Amino acid sequence: MKRIVILASGSGSNAENIISFFKDDSRVHVSAVLTNKKNAAVLERCERLKVPAFYFNRTAFSDSDGVIQLLTSLNPDLIVLAGFLWKIPTSLLNVFPNNIINIHPALLPKYGGKGMYGSKVHQSVKDNADSETGITIHYVNQNYDEGAIIFQAKTKVAPSDDANSIAEKVHQLEYEHFPKVIEKLLLKDGD
Ligand code: GAR
């Protein structure tokens, strides 16, 4: 059985989609969701879906090994960042090398980096009148949005689209592809 731990800071619609995708899968299991936001909507989703959820603060994440200890005890095969907005400290990367992936709501290297998340990304796509955008799933390294790319998918942007409708198109791509990419990564060795 492969174990996934999800880190999420906000709504958690991707977290819910991943949990639902693997709900009846005997090979892959979402063990827990961790969040850095006390009131994140993802916590309500976890309660409803009966998935263990843990809150942690900045000290536990960056200034001590609290989160590392928690993650080590959960022993994940893959750590999935799904709308998680803090930079991953090197100490954590060192414990889980090549085992942390992120989804970004644009075609990296476009619109990545510190502060580029959610609607800010989609507004930039709109402001630049781009004719396409998409999603990038990538390994996490010590720089925001710069790790090796695993997968990208594109969608068209119409002149009539605004940041909200672009976000909607991008979310659809995320829901369609993110669980399948995770499944492929986890089961690539044939188990
Ligand atoms: C997703 O669109 C994800 O790609 C984005 O946050 C959203 C979270 O939505 N992540 C970033 O912008 C990271 N830089 P969700 O909480 O409903 O899954």
Within-domain flag for 191? no
Angstrom distance (rounded) from CA 110 to CA 10: 23
- Asked if 174 and 135 touch (Cβ cutoff 8 Å), the reply is yes
Max Cα separation, the chain? 49
pLDDT in tens, 109-129: 999 998 899 899 999 999 999
- The number of folded domains in the chain is 1
Would you say residue 4 has pLDDT above 80? yes
| Domain span at 127 | 2-186
Would you say residue 178 has pLDDT above 60? yes
Give nearest CA residue, ligand 1 atom 9. Answer: 83
Instruction: Return the structure tokens found at 48.
Output: 């409803």
By mean pLDDT, which of 68-77, 111-120, 176-185 is the weakest? 111-120
Q: Is the CB of 11 under 6 A from ligand 1?
A: yes
Amino acid identity of 6?
A: I
Angstrom distance (rounded) from CA 97 to CA 99: 5
Within-domain flag for 174? yes
Ligand 1 atom closest to Cα of residue 103: 4
Instruction: Return the structure tokens found at 148.
Output: 């090796």
Write the DSSP symbol of residue 136.
E
Residue 64 assigned ligand-binding role: no
| Residue 154 belongs to domain with CATH number | 3.40.50.170
- Asked if 151 and 185 touch (Cβ cutoff 8 Å), the reply is no
The chain-wide mean pLDDT, for the chain, equals: 95
CA 13 / ligand 1 centre spacing (Å): 8
What is the mean predicted confidence (pLDDT) over 174-190?
92
Q: Where residue 6 falls among pLDDT bands split at 50, 70, 90? A: very high
Q: What is the pLDDT of residue 189?
A: 64
Angstrom distance (rounded) from CA 184 to CA 90: 26
Within-domain flag for 16? yes
Q: What is the pLDDT of residue 87?
A: 93
Q: Where residue 63 falls among pLDDT bands split at 50, 70, 90? A: confident
Within-domain flag for 156? yes
Would you say residue 190 has pLDDT above 60? no
Residues 6+ apart with CB under 8 A from 102: 81, 84, 137, 138, 139, 140, 145, 147
Angstrom distance (rounded) from CA 31 to CA 49: 12
Q: Is the CB of 117 under 6 A from ligand 1?
A: yes
Q: Where residue 188 falls among pLDDT bands split at 50, 70, 90? A: confident
pTM: 0.96
Q: Is the CB of 17 under 6 A from ligand 1?
A: no
Residue 181 burial (CB count, 10 A): 17
In three-state secondary structure terms, 158 is coil
Give nearest CA residue, ligand 1 atom 17. Answer: 13
Residue 10's Cβ-side half-sphere holds a number of Cα atoms within 13 Å equal to 12
pLDDT in tens, 40-51: 999 999 999 999
Would you say residue 10 has pLDDT above 80? yes
End-to-end CA distance of the chain: 9
